[in-house]
Amino acid sequence: MSTTYRDALRDGLREALQRDARVFLMGEDVGRYGGTYAVSKGLLDEFGPERIRDTPLSELAFVGMGVGAALGGMRPIVEVMTVNFSLLALDQIVNGAALLRHMSGGQFSVPLVIRMATGAGRQLAAQHSHSFEGWYAHIPGLRILTPATVEDARGMLWPALQDPDPVLLFEHAQLFNMTGEASDGTGVDIRSAKVRRAGDDITLVTYGGSLWKTLEAAEQLAEEGIEAEVLDLRVLRPLDTETLLASVRRTRRAVVVDEGWRSGSLAAEVMARIVEEAFYDLDAPLARVCSEEVPIPYPKHLEDAALPQPEKIVAAARGVLGR
């Protein structure tokens, strides 16, 4: 069934609320307003204020409440309006939720799901537009998911709620109006990367909002006779190194596309793993396409120039292939 990314997220929320009485949603404006991106619209009327909870404007407080509720046996879904604001709750996420299983010697788990919008392209300027998924992927104890398709938007939430440890879902804000085929609600794999386009000449590795730009670049390359394989990482922690290496060993060339900044990026980690484990399978040096090393600008032409775009990906692939 065709639906939008936004509606698929809502269907996933509704299904989780129906299947498990321990599940509840909380965050800023998730109830009466229906969510900043209208993802939770209508759920307050359907499930009531005990399970769709509007919170004060304090990420530190309500993420901490989610950690406590998870420790107490509930299955909270916490919505943070945008990834930039999640930095206000870093102590709760990084020093709390991610560490409690280890620090308790396995006595406690934190089955918490945190959803947040990420990414640029909407002219919302620097404080609402960055991509910090790679930061969180650095932290042991967290699972990091980046649904880039309607199917994953619908199907990742329920398996995430079954994880005994914290799961962070990064939903790229440029995708909310995208349409596609939804899953049947039985859940999708939250452990593995997925090949979105098969090819033999080069592997284009990406995730999240950059997937569709990368697929567009692959189509442009196909017009030149270059068949690019597009690998959607989907899970940034733990990385599915096996699928990544299998693709790169087959094509023998790779470009990594990452909306994060180049310095200290997830792209750098992906490239390091390829070099560590598949260096002698490569026929050319690796390349990457990242955001420019600036806060995301507000003007549209500057924002576009700062972000990975299909033409940049095509140029990087040509360079690796010596074209």
Distances (CA, A) of 63 to 69, 84, 152, 172, 281: 10, 14, 24, 20, 44
pLDDT of 181 reads: 86
Gyration radius (Cα) of the chain, Å: 19
Dihedral of alpha carbons 270, 271, 273, 277, sign: positive
Question: Tens digits of per-residue pLDDT, 268-278?
Answer: 999 999 999 99
Name all domains of the chain by residue range, CATH numbers in brackets. 2-181 (3.40.50.970), 194-321 (3.40.50.920)
pLDDT of 138 reads: 97
Question: What is the rounded distance in angstroms from the CA atom of residue 225 to the CA atom of residue 268?
Answer: 28
Q: Would you say 214 and 313 are in contact if contact means Cβ atoms under 8 Å apart?
A: yes
pLDDT higher than 90, residue 132? yes
pLDDT higher than 70, residue 33? yes
Active-site positions read: 59, 128
What's the mean pLDDT when you consider all of the chain? 96
Q: Which tokens is 124 given?
A: 């919302």
- Mean pLDDT value of segment 25-51: 97
Distances (CA, A) of 139 to 135, 185, 210, 288: 8, 29, 22, 23
Per DSSP bridges, beta strands 202-206 and 194-197 are unpaired
Contacts of 102 (CB under 8 A, 6+ apart): 140, 141
Question: What is the rounded distance in angstroms from the CA atom of residue 273 to the CA atom of residue 293?
Answer: 23
pLDDT higher than 90, residue 1? no
Please list the alpha-helical segments (H only) found in 72-139: 83-86, 90, 100-103, 133-136
210-223 and 310-321 helices, crossing angle to 10°: 50
pLDDT higher than 70, residue 131? yes
Question: What is the rounded distance in angstroms from the CA atom of residue 80 to the CA atom of residue 171?
Answer: 11
Q: Which tokens is 268 given?
A: 């750098």
Question: What is the rounded distance in angstroms from the CA atom of residue 104 to the CA atom of residue 86?
Answer: 25
pLDDT of 185 reads: 60
Q: Would you say 175 and 209 are in contact if contact means Cβ atoms under 8 Å apart?
A: yes
pLDDT higher than 80, residue 183? no
> pLDDT band at 24, cuts 50/70/90?
very high
Q: How far apart, in Å, do the first and last CA atoms of the chain sit?
A: 41
pLDDT of 186 reads: 66
Distance of CA 50 to the CA centre of its chain: 28
- Mean pLDDT value of segment 11-40: 97
E strand map for 42-141? 52-54, 75-80, 113-118
pLDDT of 165 reads: 96
Cβ count near 197 (within 10 Å): 17
H or E element in which residue 155 lies: helix 150-155
